[in-house]
């Protein structure tokens, strides 16, 4: 049987439990928080006072913080690209004789939860008074237009490695932003980012469980897919980000430098995620591997140490880069 047909069989095997995945890792619409729960209520007479308070607290947050928050927001708002990519994965069918298959149901429900993140952060940025919203909107528009290619093709194994990694990376980023907001006294923004981080962690647990179950039924091919993604390197969803009038991808390096400068997401975090996935999937204990997959496992187990040496030698520029998205820091 071809590798592709085996993957389809595995996807159909996992799909039998899709309702339990939705129940265990996602939250019903009526029970989960919504953006309006966390922002000034426009129906209240105190709305303008609450917005004024939000804007005053925003003045205390440093420039690189705003760059990272904007970058995180744009990444979340490019959700249509991510959903369309995942809907094209082998084994996901939007149309069958009986309607969507289980995987399409999972992706729609996952998308519904993720959609709240960009919605909430966008409204916060708009109210803050610290951000050039038209520039932010143009960058988001460009990012959706420019597309998204994580190098996974339509392979579900590679795609689930990517989503397992990326959901944990976004958890780290949002959680660190929450910690920084709290440090600077903005407890409401801290709560916003903490809640978003919580969603990302739940989603990470779901996608990493998909991989874990694939390892149990097709260990060699899953190991080779994991190795492939780590050799290729996991690209961030916003790696093609650009400012207005610039070429594709030109803003990503500057954005990454801001994130590393304030410790929101660093090269060592990338290594730490790989180590966590190795432990979570018990890579060192998996048996019944082909010779090629054994070599792949050895590579994966040695990779964190090699990458740590590289990460520790990296030098991040100390100077802040000015973006069109963010107004210059206010003078007190």
Query: Which has the closest alpha carbon to 39: 144, 124, 157, 159?
Result: 124
When pLDDT is cut at 50, 70 and 90, the band that residue 3 belongs to is: confident
Q: In the prediction, which pLDDT does 178 show?
A: 98
What's the CA gap between 42 and 49, in Å, rounded?
11
Question: Pseudo-torsion of CA 295, 217, 205, 297, nearest 10°?
Answer: -10
Measured in whole angstroms, the distance separating CA 245 from the mean position of its chain's CA atoms is: 26
Q: In the prediction, which pLDDT does 197 show?
A: 98
Quote the pTM value: 0.95
Structure tokens at 138: 């143009």
Q: In the prediction, which pLDDT does 319 show?
A: 87
Q: Which of 26-35, 56-65, 154-163 has the lowest mean pLDDT?
A: 56-65
Q: What is the mean pLDDT of residues 145-156?
A: 93
Q: What is the mean pLDDT of residues 22-48?
A: 98
Within 8 A by CB and 6+ apart from 223, the residues are 215, 283, 286, 289, 293, 296, 297, 300
Alpha carbons within 13 angstroms on the beta-carbon side of residue 111 total 16
Q: What is the mean pLDDT of residues 300-314?
A: 95
When pLDDT is cut at 50, 70 and 90, the band that residue 331 belongs to is: very low
pLDDT per residue as tens digits for the range 204-258:
999 999 999 999 999 999 999 999 999 999 988 889 999 999 999 999 999 999 9
What's the CA gap between 104 and 200, in Å, rounded?
19
How would you label 120-158 residue by residue, b for 16+ Cβ within 10 Å and e otherwise?
bbbbbbebbebbbeebbbbbbebbbebebebebeebbbb
Structure tokens at 181: 């907001």
Is 88's pLDDT higher than 70?
Answer: yes
Q: What is the mean pLDDT of residues 50-78?
A: 96
Query: Which has the closest alpha carbon to 160: 98, 110, 96?
Result: 110
Query: Do the annotations mark residue 292 as ligand-binding?
Result: no
Mean pLDDT taken over the chain? 94
Q: In the prediction, which pLDDT does 332 show?
A: 43
Q: In the prediction, which pLDDT does 329 show?
A: 56
Q: What is the mean pLDDT of residues 160-165?
A: 98
Structure tokens at 145: 């237009």
User: How many other CB atoms are found less than 10 A from the CB of residue 242?
Assistant: 18
Within 8 A by CB and 6+ apart from 34, the residues are 116
Is 101's pLDDT higher than 90?
Answer: no
Q: In the prediction, which pLDDT does 95 show?
A: 77
Question: Pseudo-torsion of CA 144, 150, 152, 154, nearest 10°?
Answer: 0
pLDDT per residue as tens digits for the range 179-206:
999 999 999 999 999 999 999 999 999 9
What's the CA gap between 328 and 69, in Å, rounded?
15
Is 32's pLDDT higher than 70?
Answer: yes
Query: Which has the closest alpha carbon to 73: 128, 136, 135, 130?
Result: 136
Query: Do the annotations mark residue 203 as ligand-binding?
Result: yes
Angle, CA 328 vertex, CA 323 and CA 332 arms, to 5°: 160
CATH of domain 3-312: 1.10.620.20
* Longest CA–CA separation in the chain, Å: 69
Return the active site residues.
Answer: 33, 76, 114, 117, 167, 170, 199-200, 203
**Where do the structural domains in the chain lie, given as residue ranges?**
3-312
């Amino acid at each position: 049987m071809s590798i592709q047909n085996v993957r389809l069989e595995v996807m159909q095997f996992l799909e039998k439990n899709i309702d339990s995945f939705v129940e265990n890792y996602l939250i019903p619409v009526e029970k989960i928080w919504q953006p309006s729960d966390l922002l000034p209520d426009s129906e209240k007479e105190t709305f303008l006072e609450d917005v004024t308070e939000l804007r005053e607290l925003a003045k205390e947050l440093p420039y690189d913080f705003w760059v990272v928050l904007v970058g995180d927001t744009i990444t979340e708002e490019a959700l249509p690209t991510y959903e369309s990519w995942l809907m094209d994965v082998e084994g996901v069918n939007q149309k069958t004789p009986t309607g969507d298959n289980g995987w399409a149901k999972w992706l729609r429900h996952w998308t519904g939860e993720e959609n709240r993140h960009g919605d909430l952060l966008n409204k916060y940025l708009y109210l803050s008074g610290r951000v050039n919203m038209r520039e932010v909107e143009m960058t988001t528009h460009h990012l959706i237009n420019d597309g998204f290619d994580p190098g996974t093709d339509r392979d579900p194994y590679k795609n689930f490695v990517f989503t397992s990694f990326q959901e944990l990376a976004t958890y780290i980023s949002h959680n660190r932003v929450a910690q920084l907001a709290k440090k600077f006294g903005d407890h409401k923004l801290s709560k916003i980012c903490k809640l978003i981080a919580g969603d990302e962690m739940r989603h990470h647990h779901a996608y990493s469980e998909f991989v874990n179950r694939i390892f149990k039924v097709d260990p060699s091919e899953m190991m080779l897919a994991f190795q492939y993604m780590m050799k290729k390197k996991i690209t961030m969803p916003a790696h093609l980000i650009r400012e207005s009038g610039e070429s594709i991808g030109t803003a990503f390096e500057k954005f990454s430098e801001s994130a590393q400068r304030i410790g929101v997401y660093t090269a060592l975090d990338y290594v730490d995620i790989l180590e966590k996935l190795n432990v979570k999937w018990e890579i060192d204990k998996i048996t019944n591997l082909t010779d090629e997959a054994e070599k792949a496992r050895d590579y994966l187990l040695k990779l964190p140490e090699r990458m740590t040496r590289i990460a520790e030698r990296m030098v991040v520029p100390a100077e802040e880069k000015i973006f069109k998205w963010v107004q210059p820091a206010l003078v007190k």
